[in-house]
Amino acid sequence: MTVRSRRDQGQAFPIYIMMVAGLLFLALAFFAVGKASALRNGSQGAADAAALAAAQQARSNFGTGFYASLPGNMLDVFLAAPFVAPCSEAQRLASANDADKKLCYPTPGYLRDRITVEVEGRKPVDSPVLPGSENKKAEAKATALIEFRCPNPKAVDANSDGVQDLFIFTCRSGEIIEIVPASPPPWESVSRTLFDVRLVDQ
């Protein structure tokens, strides 16, 4: 029978301590990585919501000027005008998702505008195994596209007086919208058909 001496037991004890410390460090490291990943996902969700909200608000705000342009035979010119990015709406949605807007800007394009929002989460990673993580916060960016879905609108001058009396929009969905400048329908009833809003890759 082999009897382990007290000296052997004393030499093994520091090894056990190192093993336990190593396992504890790995556990803290995995926790820090998991927390950072969760914060990053939360910030991305906030950025997505903020970009979509800003784009949807921009689509709604487009209505007054859109109708004002119709009688002046300036439809094509107006459709080429950029949307205004309502960044206060982006901040509202970012804040609702525990983040803050850092940047908010539009990228104009003919019948295809983009609104990009960058956000920063409010909670730091704050892990003892990651130096500087007490001030490290997750950042994310998202872009929403506002796309005109009813190409080649048809203008009708019923009285041949040089004034367009009717605009006919045939949309890709197959829906047809007719707008009479003298008595236009409520903008909310047509904006979602005329313009699509969706997230796109950066």
At 45 the pLDDT is 94
**Number of domain units in the chain:** 1
Residue 19 is which amino acid? M
**Residue 189 predicted with pLDDT over 70:** yes
The answer to whether residue 65 sits within a structural domain is: yes
Residue 180 lies in a domain: no
Question: What's the pTM?
Answer: 0.76
Is the pLDDT higher at 200 or at 166? 200
Higher pLDDT, 13 or 193: 193
In a domain, 86, yes or no: yes
Q: Is residue 189 part of a domain?
A: no
Looking at every residue in the chain, the average pLDDT score rounds to 80
In-domain check, residue 169: no
Whether residue 188 is contained in a domain is answered as no
How far from chain centre, in Å, is Cα 114? 10
d(CA 116, CA 58): 12
Range of the domain at 123: 9-149+196-200
Domain contains 175: no
Q: pLDDT by residue (tens digit) across 121-150?
A: 988 766 555 555 567 788 999 999 999 898
pLDDT, average across residues 161-190: 84
